Structure 1
């Protein structure tokens, strides 16, 4: 449709092309159009409080949908909310926490020349993933790094990022830390970057066995970066404990010490 402005200020339709038109979106779907989708100030305040208390994105969306009588009444899509949360987290790092992290690592490296850290940045020079290990952790890995437990199910921090430590056991059966990471997400790209940096910090030594939580992305990254390692997920530990129970082997000291998975 083409309009022309008249002398009296009115618009006059001078041409109309029917083939360029389309059906209007049905009323229940209008709010899903990009131009109509938005997170209201009240919803933003609610989500900010949820972030402070560590409520997950999915749980927050569920709560908001209950308040308005269903997901169709939210006024935004899940991806809009995720973008909002990620924007807030990145803004927080940009305001000064990123510089504080860098200052801390530089300070630690001055005190401990063997202190290792690496930071992955995105195209906008914003922090994505972080890994660090002190000299004691690196030495311990050299002695006791044949078996490693890597877990991303620990409680997330104020930025909602997964905290992921590399854990082992020394000759006194004490838990030791080989290094730790703060991840942006749990994608294969983040895991591959982390495992490659871990190898670099540990002079290329791969663990003989690595225990992890259940994650397809993590498993794929381990297969690519740690091809020499035996990988077991939590489901294997559950099966092992079930086997001990079924065959009444829970009191067998050799089996219990073999992987030390019965008591935690």
Structure 2
């Protein structure tokens, strides 16, 4: 409706119930309502800021009717003291500049290989013109800056309010997970920090077979509860999208926590750990190159389940 009117609204005032936080009333005004204070900047500025407040009195006041539990209009002033924006330029109003979820994904993908101007031009051509995008190049720049600065960190406290487990993932990790997160390898390392605490990581390959990291964590211990907490926060950071397959080592606590948090995810064992266990327990058999070749064939050359059973 704002686009049809050619104006932008601003929320000027509201009142809420201090006990329930229920909205009681709201005043909506034109974005040109009121006046700015006296500009104290240099009057000789080359690019002075345009005047945007000209005392427009158009407004809409709504109030909650306690009897019917609905908002009703109690005051409405329709007349503006300025010309409205034409439909061709209405998309430039601040309240009209919005990005759809699909556009946000395209911006994330374009930012990985195109300059800011190139990605904006590309999306404009796909939409039939920049005027059809619904946002400006400045909105795009601010969005990408926010994504780069954004990171997610989750911490778990014990009864003494001390941090025991910590998980984090930044914006790039989340973007990578959207593209390559169907199969994830999860593993922990030991005694590589001064506290001798397990360090856990979620990793996989991209389309160039380069290692990408989806998230990392420092854990207090390797119990099923700690892994369940970690998997839950990993899914929370990744918009509740669980991987289709998760590769781990043969840790029993991981195997116990996985079905609880990710019941639809297939649990598989990492081939590196399988080979290490084979070398540890039946190293004598690996002196025979034929036995080693057969094992390698089962692990790496057979992709069909029926063929694997026949072999």
TM-score (norm 1): 0.49
- Structure with the greater alpha carbon radius of gyration: 2
Q: If each structure's helix is expressed as a fraction of its own residues, which one has the higher value? A: 1
Q: Using CA pairs under 8 Å that are at least 6 residues apart, name the structure with larger relative contact order, 1 or 2.
A: 1
More strand by share: 2
